[in-house]
A and B are shown apart, each in its own frame.
Chain A
Amino acid sequence: MAQDPSVSRRRFLGLLGAATALPVLSACGSSVGGGGGSPTGGGGTIKVGLVVPQSGVYAALGTDMQRGWDLWLADHGQKFGNYTVETVVADEGETPQTGVPAVQKVLQSDGVDVVVGLVNSATALGVRDVLSESKKLLIVTNAGAEDVTGKARTPYIWRSSFTNGQIAAAMGTHLAQSGFSEGVYAIAPDYAAGTEVITAFTKAFETGGGRVVGQAKTPFGTTSDYQPFLTGIQSSGARATFCFYSGAEAISFVKQYAQFGLSSTIPLYGSGFLTEGNVLPQQGDAAVGVQTTLHYTDQLDNPANNAFVQAYSAKYGESPSCFSVQTWDAANVLDRALTSATGVDGDALAAALGGIGTVDDSPRGPWTFDNQTPRQNIYLRRVDNSGGTLVNAVVEDLGPQSQPAA
């Protein structure tokens, strides 16, 4: 096991070495793509590399993302501005060991002009130098690490999704104002995203006058019996619990929280991924009443979302997720940028993205780029049983939020 990181690091360095050869190769690529268009921006093609997971834990997210992307293009005649869009799909896999080479591959052998996708934050951080050196634009459609548009910011990486802290901070402020300021217990898995979430939540909650009475970080990926932690929450005297879990951990935590009788006395709050997507039906009735914050729910009532949900359900037979919307919006902002961009290279596109102003037709509601990541409305949602189906109903619009200051 101890050898894995060094092997991958060596492999990664090799990739970076290869990346220095990129500008030459990709210059050839763009002479076929953007260069083919006339100076007025009419009639060219733009080649986009969609790098999303097609295998591994996140494969379901990748499916949602590709559907969002395909739906936008189908509704807009496969065009961004006057450019015809050609999409090359590559498998991100689970980790940077598969994600970084996938980005490398679409840039190098497919010669794409723009890269869209990436679920894993480590992958998004790992491709930073590759993109900077090839001067190509990447729109991250999930990866929520603060550093992607924080410490490790580069003009070539933009984000159409969220930041981990943005979602948690909105909940911190909300809980401080809604009668729980005397005591909240915060619990999350012990890894990078869990730490970001707890930190941002605690900061916002304490700024609002709240007091965190206890905190636990559960071993990531190896905890399945939460009983000792749940007993700890009960004895801490907390009035509410804030948590951050996803996937199988979200299922176990929410179910055990109800089974050990906590949900009736200490209400459970969390980041939206706790009850998003395919974990919700598996949590079943244990999830009813759980409240979460997120930048989207398919229950939003606005004209753009109603049309989006209807089109998406008609085409794919299931409701869209935030992952579908994030990728739908990536196409949306590229379209807006390309109506004014002077070219399809990273510098021209980055400049154009900075000037698109408010994105006013997104299913999630209007949002703008702030520091290359969305400033967007965060919604307080509650799991309700709506005619036999569990949904994340909107309780309150918590208003527009930026990425929290580091």
Chain B
Amino acid sequence: MLVSVLNGLAIGSLLFILAVGLSIVFGMMDVLNLAHGALFLGGAYLGAAFAGSWGGFLAALALAAVGGLAAGVLLSLMTEPLRKRSHLDQALLTLGVAFVVAELLIIAFGDDPLSVAAPPALDGSVSLLGATYPTYRLVLIGVGAVLALVVYLVVERTRVGALVRATVADREMVAALGVDNRMVQATVFAVGSLLAATAGVLGGPIYGARPGLDATVLILALVVVVIGGLGSVRGALVGALIIGQVDTLGRLLLPDFASFILFAALALVLVLRPHGLFGSPASAGAR
């Protein structure tokens, strides 16, 4: 049981890193980025290509960060002309990008599942209150906690964060104050994509790298975003932790109904709090 709870935390950490970018981009820019999962998969394959040593792991992280930033700016430029159009148009565009990226990854890495080794010192396990648990996953929980804190402080306590939150709340008003929305959008998009690609590298030792993983994590991230509420860092964090636990415990206690439980949790939140746990009706109403 303890092992499952810990595992839920590890997966929750990973989901938070993945989902926070998606949440803010969607909440703030009103852009539904379905290519978010493809960014994660790209990171995972980078991890698979370089993993095995600390140097390789850190190189993969650095490459994923740079690649994620570039991809985010690119995606931001691509979706810019569609900002006045419906969500469906953006979804189609980013879905197309996701398909192209996934296909390119298959061409480059083949379509058999790859297993990714954790960095040498973390590849073992530690004893914890009588249970044995993989070291890497414990470290991942820590990394997730640190990142959550950093993102939270940046968004809630800095000028840039204030700008981002203001844009989430009322985009037109911020524009009227003389701030270039497109710059804010590109920055948020880039940072969100960076986090997604980095999450791919970090998640490699747990999820490996394989075709179809992009869709799996995208759905998990969307569930997290919907549960947590759009554009809310706190929401993404709580949503990710809840989904991590629900997914792990669900698969343990009721293996046959695991995927139902995930969406049952989603439905329950939607019935009780239609705007998510931390989403405000106002920001949803703007759409």
Contact = CB atoms under 8 A, between A and B. Distances in A.
Given A227-B7, A231-B3, A248 B255 contact: no
Nearest to A250: B115
A224 interface: yes
Nearest to B125: A259
A57 B113 CA distance: 9
Give the residue among A222, A228, A282 with the most B Cβ atoms within 10 A: A228
B96 interface: no
Interface stretch (B18-26, B130-138, B149-157, B232-240): B130-138
Contacts of B258: 228
Given A216-B255, A228-B251, A252-B115, A261 B208 contact: no
A271 B113 CA distance: 20
B79 interface: no
Interface string B200-223: 000000111010100010000000
Nearest to B249: A228
Give the residue among B110, B112, B255 with the most A Cβ atoms within 10 A: B112
A356 interface: no
Contact of A232 (B113, B132, B134, B252): B252
Contacts of A256: 134
B217 to A, nearest CB: 12
B112 A259 contact: no
A388 to B, nearest CB: 16
Given A227-B4, A228-B252, A231-B252, A248 B114 contact: yes
A248 B113 contact: yes
B198 interface: no
A231 B111 CA distance: 29
Contacts of A221: 113, 210
A248 B208 contact: yes
Contacts of B11: 225
A224 B207 contact: yes
A258 interface: yes
Interface in A249-292: 249, 251-252, 255-256, 258-261, 264, 282, 284
A161 to B, nearest CB: 21
Looking at chain B's contact residues, the main secondary structure is mixed
A222 B112 CA distance: 10
Interface in B225-277: 248, 251-252, 255, 258
Looking at chain A's contact residues, the main secondary structure is helix
B124 interface: yes
Give the residue among B3, B113, B127, B132 with the most A Cβ atoms within 10 A: B113
Given A261-B131, A261-B132, A228 B255 contact: yes
B117 interface: yes
A227 B123 CA distance: 15
Contact of B208 (A224, A232, A284): A224
A221 B110 CA distance: 13
A247 interface: yes
Interface in B35-70: none
A375 B251 CA distance: 41
A56 interface: yes
Contacts of A264: 132
Contacts of B3: 227, 231, 260
B107 to A, nearest CB: 13
A264 B125 CA distance: 12
Contacts of B110: 56-57
Interface in A289-303: none
Contacts of A228: 4, 7, 248, 251-252, 255, 258
B206 A251 contact: no
Give the residue among A222, A249, A259 with the most B Cβ atoms within 10 A: A259
B112 A57 contact: yes
Contacts of B125: 258-261
A224 B117 contact: no
Contact of B210 (A224, A225, A259): A224
Given A227-B3, A227-B4, A249-B113, A232 B255 contact: yes
Interface in B152-211: 206-208, 210
B22 to A, nearest CB: 21
B134 A252 contact: no
Nearest to B252: A228
A216 B258 CA distance: 14
A119 to B, nearest CB: 13
B230 to A, nearest CB: 28
A258 B123 CA distance: 10
Given A57-B112, A232-B255, A282-B115, 12 more contacts: A56-B112, A222-B113, A222-B210, A224-B115, A228-B251, A228-B252, A248-B112, A251-B115, A255-B115, A258-B125, A260-B134, A261-B127
Interface of B: 3-4, 7, 11, 110-115, 117, 123-125, 127, 131-134, 206-208, 210, 212, 216, 248, 251-252, 255, 258
21 contacts: A57-B110, A222-B210, A224-B115, A224-B207, A225-B11, A225-B206, A225-B207, A227-B7, A228-B248, A247-B112, A248-B208, A248-B210, A249-B115, A256-B134, A259-B134, A260-B132, A260-B133, A261-B132, A282-B115, A282-B117, A284-B123
